């Protein structure tokens, strides 16, 4: 298993930097419900952004994508998932038909079951639903003002262009993960991502949709080596050409002398 500490060391050594694409997220504020339970939550909190576990009142569920434990906070929790064609309309319709959804943990349980069947990413064939909070949601591009982020008021937004660092892990490798719930790299592998919110595992198919490589020191070294080798080859060609020209000139001179 790759621990949080090992992942941090590997990411710093790797130094590959990625930037978010314009892929949209669907956010559904869901705080204020009854029936919250005592739960342990792990966040990477400032100023050091080290993993810290703390007690919260919340709703526990598991991401259908990789069975990772999620703790939606009673105080300011939101559901978040990648948007897909027609998804917001389905969510809005469900909430309209079930207006009491966000009043209790039982209502949230039914909502998660609905999302498992309907929040399907067409590129992966699986639902990918996790928790976030109002502080994250209000900073998305396209988010309404904070006073309008009420339970059940779904919206679609995109992440700001904050760069992240990440490392790739092979299929079957296990990352310690947050909440004390290990995550396993799915078919095609996964990326362990580091940003100001901490560390998290993102399956490769989803990561490639959400992020694009912007800086790769290792690749730059390879490019520099190739460029250097080509320059060396060009110098050798020039030197050979000079030698050949000198020899030809001497040969021509000798012929004239004869």
- Residue 132 has a pLDDT of 93
- Residue 215 has a pLDDT of 78
pLDDT band at 40 (very low <50, low <70, confident <90, very high): confident
Phi-psi region of 35 (alpha: psi -120 to 50; beta: other; left: phi over 0): left
Residues 201 and 230 in one domain: no
CA distance 216 to 130: 29
- Minimal CA–CA distance to 44: which of 183, 161, 177? 177
Residues 180 and 225 in one domain: no
In the predicted model, is pLDDT for residue 112 greater than 70? yes
Domain span at 149: 4-215
% pLDDT > 70, the chain:
79
Pairing of strands 164-169, 69-73: unpaired
> Do residues 183 and 66 lie in contact, with contact meaning Cβ atoms separated by under 8 Å?
yes
Tokens of 111: 């909502």
Full-prediction pTM beyond 0.75? no
- Residue 168 has a pLDDT of 94
For 196-216, what is the mean pLDDT?
Answer: 84
- Residue 66 has a pLDDT of 80
Residues 210 and 227 in one domain: no
Which one has a higher pLDDT value, 214 or 51? 214
Residue whose structure tokens are 């590997």: 10
Q: Is the dihedral of CA 161, 193, 117, 106 positive or negative?
A: negative
Residues 240 and 159 in one domain: no
Residues 91 and 130 in one domain: yes
- Cα Rg of the chain, angstroms: 27
Residues 153 and 81 in one domain: yes
Which one has a higher pLDDT value, 15 or 169? 169
CA distance 91 to 101: 11
């Amino acid at each position: 298993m790759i621990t949080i500490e090992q992942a941090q060391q590997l990411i710093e050594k790797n130094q590959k930097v990625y930037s978010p694409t314009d892929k949209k997220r669907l956010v559904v504020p869901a705080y204020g419900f009854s029936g919250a339970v005592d739960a342990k939550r792990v966040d990477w909190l400032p100023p050091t952004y080290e993993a810290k576990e703390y007690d919260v009142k919340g709703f526990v569920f598991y991401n259908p994508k990789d069975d990772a434990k999620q703790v939606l906070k009673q105080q300011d929790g939101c559901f978040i998932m990648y948007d897909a064609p027609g998804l917001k309309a389905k969510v809005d319709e469900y909430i309209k038909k079930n207006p009491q959804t966000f009043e209790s943990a039982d209502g949230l349980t039914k909502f998660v079951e609905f999302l498992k069947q309907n929040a399907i990413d067409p590129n992966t064939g699986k639902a990918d639903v996790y928790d976030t909070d109002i502080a994250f949601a209000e900073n998305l591009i396209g988010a309404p003002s904070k006073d309008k982020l009420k339970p059940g008021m779904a919206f679609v937004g995109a992440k700001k262009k904050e760069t992240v660092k990440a490392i790739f892990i092979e299929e079957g490798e296990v990352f310690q993960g947050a909440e004390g719930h290990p995550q396993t790299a799915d078919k095609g592998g996964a990326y362990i991502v580091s940003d100001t919110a901490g560390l998290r595992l993102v399956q490769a198919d989803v990561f490639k949709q959400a992020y694009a490589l912007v800086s790769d020191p290792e690749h730059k070294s390879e490019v520099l080596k190739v460029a250097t080798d080509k320059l060396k080859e060009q110098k050798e060609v020039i030197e050979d050409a000079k030698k050949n020209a000198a020899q030809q000139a001497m040969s021509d001179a000798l012929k004239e002398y004869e």
